Amino acid sequence: MLERVKKQDLRPHTIVVRKTGPAAAQILLFDGTLYLPARPDASLCARALTALGEQPEGDYYCPLDMAMAAHFEHDHAMSLVELHERLHHLRDLELHGPAERAQRMWLRLRNELLAYGLGLIWERESTVWSVFVLNDLQECR
């Protein structure tokens, strides 16, 4: 079961699955103001519908495997400033906040970076974030 998108938690560069009917779904990239559709891919849409199952129409966080398979025509990349701010916010939440919320934010940011072919590691002992380019998307599994 996919987690429904909460509009107040939606951040730029989030990939969502939108169910628009009983047999219709699409993968979208939220850029902060607009939803940009992924290139048409019948097999990806079929996987999205299977993952959505009987859930009602609406927006859901895109599973990692589908986010990695989606291709977007637009060249929107997360700025380094935004990434830096989000990593600091996430670290503060990880250290001082509720564990469940920190885990959700961690997974969401990790999935967004994976969509750009980037990996994310936090070395807890040294409190250092490492963002790296994945040579092979299998590295992240």
Which residues are 60's β-sheet partners?
A: 4, 17
Give residue 19's pLDDT. Answer: 92
Domains of the chain: total: 2
Pick from 69, 92, 120: which residue ends a domain?
69
If pLDDT is split at 50, 70 and 90, which confidence band does 111 have? confident
The CA distances from residue 124 to 94, 97, 104, 110, 129, in Å, are 10, 15, 18, 16, 9
**Residue 33 and residue 61 share a domain:** yes
Q: Which domain holds residue 33?
A: 7-69
Q: Is the same domain home to 35 and 88?
A: no
Helix, strand, or coil here: 81? helix
Judge if 63 and 100 occupy the same domain. Answer: no
Q: For 99, how many CA atoms within 13 A lie in the half-sphere containing its CB?
A: 0
* Judgement on whether residues 51 and 85 belong to the same structural domain of the protein: no
Q: Evaluate if residue 11 carries a pLDDT over 90.
A: no
Per-residue model confidence (pLDDT) at position 137? 42
Q: Are residues 22 and 44 both part of a single domain? A: yes
Give a yes or no: residue 37 inside a domain. yes
Look up the pTM and report it: 0.52
Q: Is residue 1 domain-resident?
A: no
